[in-house]
Structure 1
Amino acid sequence: MKLLKKILITGEIEALTGLMIGGSNTAMGIGGPDKMVIRNPVTKQPYVPGSSVKGKMRSLLEVSFGYIGEKAMGKVKNGPGDNPDHQTTVLFGSARGDDRQRPSRIICRDGFLLNPDDLKGTELPFTEAKTEVVIDRITSAAMPRTFERVPAGARFGLNIVVNVFDDDKFKDDLRSLTYKALQLLQDDYLGGSGSRGNGQVKIRIQSVVERTSEFYQGTDKDQKILTLDEAKVPQDLR
């Protein structure tokens, strides 16, 4: 197995509606939101975990192909697919402990807040508190609950690396598969409570760079900076 190249995809994720990606509630004060968003412990700014982006991309892509796996981690009845002949398994890998185990070809890095100055006027630091109400069907009593979420307009970095190896099946399709997964994510939602209006995002790919294995060995200092047209980035991801 030899590394042929790395494809570096960078851009941004903009929240079109409030974004709710949960963190720990251990530091929640009395009277605070019932659910908190995840934050950088140093800057206290919210961020988008790469695991959230990658997991959502994979699940949506597998559903689009009909690749539904078996029980995962003892709880999820229909987990990630692990058939080595499936495109999604090649791209995202498989954690099985048998001959179906495959390393992931895609790396999704955490997306940090790009426009913190735009969020300084929010109720909570960089976030808002959204109250939802559950109505008792018999008594009509209202049971409010409050969630913290990142407000619409927040922008986060998008940083994805796709590794291409010489013996990969579908190695010529990994970049287009990544685009397809991002398109599905854009037309779905990121984070929690998407069916209640949260998590709509706009994804903008701003650059695509290819670096061969020779680049890292020092024998070839050139890297291929592709235009969005050369990289065949779909129009709805620009």
Structure 2
Amino acid sequence: MSHKLIKKIVYTGVIKLKTGLHIGGTNAALNIGGPDKFVVRNPINNIPYIPGSSLKGKMRSLLELQDGNFSVSHNGSAGPSNDLQCVSAKLFGVAGNDIKRPSRVIVRDATLDIESQDFSRTDLPYAESKTEVAIDRLTAKANPRTFERIPAGAEFKFEIILNIFDDGEEDELKAALNRAMKLLQDDYLGGNGSRGYGQIEFLDVKTEERKKEYYLKSIN
């Protein structure tokens, strides 16, 4: 049975960093004495951003962990659920070889608000360097490594779009998306979360429902 798209719900707001954030980018431009691990940046203006794929993937994994709905591969690693009826599959979709379900949610790349923080004091463009030391348990040798990360206090503008069809699943999907966002606030985004990185909060979240009438108006 085919379903009709009846509206889109547009979520907008701010992702504020409570601790430094590292989402890895390319290490192609390594500098002697500089960071070993770089953050992902827009190649045009060199400004860091949060990829929509990172945000969406983390929310999905947390939702599936809380519900206990995830797949386990032959080597024991956990992956996305293949259960088409679980709420994470309904919201984020399934892209397996044998079973497919389209995603109902679109997560845009979150752009850095360069006015949200005094970046003139950072040692890297819109970022800071943080050196950590790993200790060899046998030799006690110190192995320093330097990470680039966006500093605490920085804010990113986000947009998430939820597609609503006439299948009666609106309330379930909205509740699941809200739960995923709240779970993320009590977890971390990006890498090195167990070492304090990536704590975030969603602020000034607003929603706008756009029905057919909205799309019939002139684009101007």
**1:34-183 mapped onto 2 (5 Å cutoff):** 34-71=36-73, 77-98=77-98, 100-116=99-115, 118-167=118-167, 170-183=169-182
Partner of 1:16: 18
How big is each residue's C-alpha offset from its partner over 1:79-130, in whole Å with a ceiling of 9 and x where there is no partner?
A: 10021111110000000132x3000000110011113462122001111110
**1:217-228 mapped onto 2 (5 Å cutoff):** 217-218=216-217
In structure 1, give the amino acid aligned to 2:100: Q
Shift of 1:213: 2.7
Most deviating of 88-97 and 111-120: 111-120
In structure 1, give the amino acid aligned to 2:69: Y
Match of 1:6 among 8, 23, 32: 8
**1:198-213 mapped onto 2 (5 Å cutoff):** 198-213=197-212
Matched, 1:32 2:30: no
Preserved contact between residue 9 and residue 205 of structure 1 (Cα < 8 Å): no
TM-score (norm 2): 0.92
How big is each residue's C-alpha offset from its partner over 1:41-64, in whole Å with a ceiling of 9 and x where there is no partner?
A: 111111111110000000000001
Partner of 1:227: none
Partner of 1:189: 188
Shift of 1:171: 2.6
Please, what is the CA RMSD of the aligned residues?
1.8
Shift of 1:70: 3.7
In structure 2, give the amino acid aligned to 1:103: P
- Aligned equivalents of 1:125, 1:76: Cα separation in 2: 40
Shift of 1:141: 2.2
SS in 2 for 1:134: strand
- Aligned equivalents of 1:76, 1:15: Cα separation in 2: 33
List gaps (5 residues or longer) in structure 1.
220-238
Aligned residue pairs total: 215
SS in 2 for 1:30: coil
In structure 2, give the amino acid aligned to 1:165: F
Preserved contact between residue 122 and residue 128 of structure 1 (Cα < 8 Å): yes
Shift of 1:135: 1.4
In structure 2, give the amino acid aligned to 1:87: V
- Aligned equivalents of 2:91, 2:55: Cα separation in 1: 14
- Aligned equivalents of 1:189, 1:124: Cα separation in 2: 23
- Aligned equivalents of 2:100, 2:140: Cα separation in 1: 52
SS in 2 for 1:36: coil
Most deviating of 78-87 and 57-66: 78-87
How big is each residue's C-alpha offset from its partner over 1:5-45, in whole Å with a ceiling of 9 and x where there is no partner?
A: 10000001011101000000011222221100001111111
SS in 1 for 2:205: strand
- Aligned equivalents of 1:123, 1:109: Cα separation in 2: 28
